A and B are shown apart, each in its own frame.
Chain A
Amino acid sequence: MEQPDVARQTMEVDIACVGFGPAMGGFLTTLSRHLTDAEGRPLLESRAMPGMPPQVLCYERADDIGFGVSGVVTRARGIRRSFPELDPTAIPMACEVRQEKTVYLLDPIGASRRGAGLKLVDRLLRPFAGKRMALELPYTPPFLRKHGGLILSIGQFNQWVGNQLMASGTVQIWPGTPVQQALVEDHRVVGVRLADQGVEKDGSPTGAFLPGMDVRAALTVVGDGPVGPVGRQLDEVFGMPEGHQRRHWAVGMKMVVELPESCELAEGTVIHTFGFPEPEIFGFLYAMPGRLASLGIFVPSFLDSPVRTTYRYLQHWMRHPYLWRWLEGGTMRSWGAKTLAEYGKQGEPYLVGDGYARIGEGSGSTNVLTGSGVDEAWTTGAQLAEGVVELWRSGQPFTRENLAAAYERRRRESWVEAEGRVAEHARDGFTRGFLAGLVGMGLTALTGGRWHPKAKHRPLPSLEEFCRGRLTAGEISRLRRRAESEGLPLHDLVMDALGWPKVEHDGRLLVSHQDALLLGGKVQAPPGFADHVAFLYPNLCERCSPQLCVEVCSGQAISPNPSGGAPLFDREKCVHCGACLWNCPTETPEGGPNLAFRAGAGGLHSAEN
């Protein structure tokens, strides 16, 4: 609930930054090296506070700078350009990539949804798959290779970068401080408004109301990720470039696992999987130092299930015999989920405008062919910083034209752009099916993007259509009634009925979804902030079935409402993955999803991600 008429404190700074992730790390690291000399004397002068170095403030929603979610394998070209002497042992959980495997997982259960063509392929491959029901490709395709690159925990990497930045004294990073919106005046971004505090869940003020401060800045740098409220606001206000759209998404769910002592997986091993638990679901396992592994799956938007879930699929994936031989006896150390901008360059927004620039994943930098986003994001941030320094030194204002010349030009001329163009449509084939998707990716890579598959976008099928040939309408109807009467999401019931076995919990690695939240995610929901998820038209939710926001919710934070209408939202379980936003199939009369995903504080509380 916006409080339009309250008096707000105002603060003038030079650069206001939204979100602290790899892109902002790249931006601030590069910028900070140009702000003062070794003795701390200003090299550039603040325009907001003359006589001082530029005042650069970065606001981050999460409670700490290390609460990012991702295990990362990266070629680290941009990161190493920023840190030429980088020693991976200086970063906890980091190491060099030493070997890579790409593995096709057959379905050992017989429950995954495979078309006739894929069934035939499986039958042909089965004799070669052995008891592990998997085929290691003889080589990793060049576009996927990261040999000589780095395996990182994004949480630890962010902490490492953030600590160096803070120690430099040149920039300030403030976690626990969500940005509500960009301040837009006459088509120019003039800063940001921080989220109101001291409010009820619905946003109405309490006695401790503290209106969010307006932080006015000559330049606003937006790096709040694919579902960040400020980036989405700018998309609404300024629109998207012609032909650009955001159709491809994924939920990435991962764990950090302490491997059993008997595990022989060598540090630096990278394993990419595909084919199971559903053909469209890709998986990864990165062996880190200290007998830790970062592992997880991506459930993409082109898995056209109206009851798609991620947590249970993750468990079945871990239980695949190819992986379970290493994981059995392991212990979950952390768990989390996030949305991935699988649209890549297809969904690139306007990168610059008067008073603002966009960097990182939300700016379409993710490469969906190489499966790489962190290094690209970092590089876009570094490129912007170089451009900002150039403009500052020459005394030029942060207009759209100047930022285009100083930042966008650098990006267009870089490997991020060149490789992003190749990858732009690489995954479009998956909209036609799994095999078409694989072939499309391969041919796109082979032709350097000169040929790419054509997308065939279809509306999400009904549950009956999705289960056709496997469950009857009567069976589905019974499942719906049971879910309704017991207040349950449908996905577990449907998966049970489709033949997926119950997951036997071991209390360490295979645990209930709620225990994953408690053991691995440690979700925090600081009081005094409004709920960041809200359903706009409850009557429209009433007609939505299955409610995909409930099914897909990574933290079981959205649950069916026994009274009907809009589902219930429990902030204390929300990991801020944002999957509910892009999965909402219901459009409001104004256009857009029937679910608002606003600025919110808190989320995951583990830096081991």
Chain B
Amino acid sequence: MSNGYHIVVCGSLVPDPLQTLEPVMAPDGPGLKNEAMLPSVLDPWAAHALYEAAHLAKRVPDSKVWLASLGPKPKLQQLMMAVAQKAPFEFVAIDGSASGFADSFETAQALAKAIQSIPGLDRDRMLLFGGCSSASRDAGTTLSMVGALLGVEDQFLAVDEIEPDADGGFRVKERVEGAQYLVSRCAGAPAVLAWATGNLPEPPNNPQIGMANMRGILPALAKAPSVGALRGGLRFESVETPSQRRETRVVKDAGVEEIARELAEWIRG
């Protein structure tokens, strides 16, 4: 029997954080101003999870990676142009909202349902990867709920490192309070690993990987199930941008203490 992992990475797009994001209340619920126009990027936390998954799959023979993404179909397509050259994966698309105002549980349900219907996925060998939180909504609960819905009990929720053993088990290094790590040993899959930052840099673009991935991406987009806005029972009273002050100086050689002092002064006002 194979010891390879079946790694499912839950990761989707978020509006490019470099953009000026302005929440607005529309008749059908909250959203971002000009959201359709804004470029999107792979959620940075999910990106770590994807790169770690690709790295792990390379190290453990007979492993395979899927990327399950929930977002508006046209935006997912555009996102794939930027992501597909990074790592080999099979794409699972779900057409729905990625505004950051969706209900976590309904999002988890949609993801769990899509994962359950992945052909060839051996859930006994499954590692469910994703970000420990999201750049668009920092609830930090979705991946855990996806795991629960799929009956995965071993869950690690702020992972920085995974080290596979020869027997199919693995060691996990997790962030805990007070800048400390908790190191656990897990007997094997299935497990949930929600990534904090990981240790791997963004891989270079590899055109051959992109070509291979793209063969599966367009069919996956074509058959993506539509799950709607996923509002659940959520009701938002109001949405607003945090007040901000901008005083830009570009300084590249300031010391840590000097930066800290300036920040403290700035916060004090």
**CB within 8 Å of B: which residues of A?**
9, 11, 57, 63-67, 92-93, 156, 159, 162-163, 166-167, 169, 172-177, 194, 197-198, 208, 210, 213, 215, 290, 333, 507, 512, 514-515, 518-519, 522, 524, 526-528, 573, 605-608
Contact = CB atoms under 8 A, between A and B. Distances in A.
A172 B214 contact: yes
11 contacts: A11-B207, A65-B81, A66-B39, A162-B81, A174-B210, A177-B85, A210-B206, A333-B20, A528-B201, A605-B16, A608-B37
Contact of B81 (A173, A526, A606): A173
Nearest to B221: A167
Contact of B37 (A156, A162, A605): A156
A393 B16 CA distance: 43
A63 B41 CA distance: 10
Given A64-B82, A92-B37, A519 B207 contact: no
Contact of B248 (A65, A512, A524, A526): A512
Given A515-B248, A522-B18, A215 B81 contact: no
Contact of B78 (A64, A177, A507): A64
B82 A176 contact: yes
Nearest to B206: A210
B120 interface: no
A607 B246 contact: no
B218 interface: yes
Interface in B32-78: 34, 36-39, 74, 77-78
Contact of A522 (B19, B77, B202, B246): B19
B83 to A, nearest CB: 10
B199 interface: no
Contact of A194 (B36, B74, B207): B207
Given A172-B214, A175-B81, A515-B246, A608 B208 contact: no
Given A11-B211, A163-B77, A194-B207, A605 B39 contact: yes
A606 B19 contact: yes
Contact of B208 (A9, A163, A518, A524): A9
Contacts of B207: 11, 57, 174, 177, 194, 213, 215
A197 B34 CA distance: 34
A79 B124 CA distance: 53
Contacts of B204: 197-198, 208, 210, 528
A57 B208 CA distance: 11
Given A163-B77, A515-B248, A522-B16, A174 B85 contact: yes
B18 A605 contact: yes
Interface residues of B, number: 31
Contacts of A514: 248-250
B116 interface: no
A507 B16 contact: no
A197 B78 contact: no
Interface of B: 16, 18-20, 34, 36-39, 74, 77-78, 81-82, 85, 201-202, 204-208, 210-211, 214, 218, 221, 246, 248-250
A199 B86 CA distance: 17
A-B pairs with the 7 shortest C-beta distances?
A522-B18, A197-B204, A210-B204, A169-B218, A607-B39, A92-B37, A605-B18
Contacts of B206: 210, 213
A65 B78 contact: yes
Contacts of A11: 207-208, 211
B38 A607 contact: yes
B77 A167 contact: yes
Nearest to A199: B204
Contact of B77 (A166, A176, A333): A166
Contacts of A93: 37
A177 B205 contact: yes
B201 A208 contact: yes
B192 to A, nearest CB: 29
A17 to B, nearest CB: 13
B210 A519 contact: no
A605 B205 CA distance: 18
B39 A64 contact: yes
A435 to B, nearest CB: 41
